[in-house]
Amino acid sequence: MPARLDVTDEDIAREFRELRCVGDIVDALASPGLRLALRNCAEIRKQRASSTPPKPAHVDLKRLASGDSD
């Protein structure tokens, strides 16, 4: 299991805005359940941003254009 990323209160506040949550951010940070959910979402967003995109598979365009599908 990979190590958890360090998530700051700023990351949690950004996630609160990105998810378009209704209410006050101070109340959200005071609620342990909502804070944990926002922390997990922020951590996933950081992991996706830091990872490299997958390399596209090689596609033979000439073969595709000719309709050869074997």
Assess if residue 66 is contained within a domain. no
Note down the domain range covering 12: 1-50
Q: What are phi and psi of 45, to 5 degrees?
A: -65, -40
Q: Do residues 38 and 16 lie in contact, with contact meaning Cβ atoms separated by under 8 Å?
A: yes
Assess if residue 57 is contained within a domain. no
pLDDT of residue 70: 63
Domain total of the chain: 1
Assess if residue 31 is contained within a domain. yes
Average pLDDT of the segment spanning 39-55: 87
Q: Name the pLDDT band for 1 (thresholds 50, 70, 90).
A: low
Exposure string of 30-46, with b = 16+ CB inside 10 Å and e = fewer, is eeeebeebbbebbbebe
d(CA 61, CA 41): 38
Q: Name the pLDDT band for 36 (thresholds 50, 70, 90).
A: very high
| ∠ CA 12-10-21, rounded to 5° | 40
Assess if residue 56 is contained within a domain. no
Global pTM?
0.65
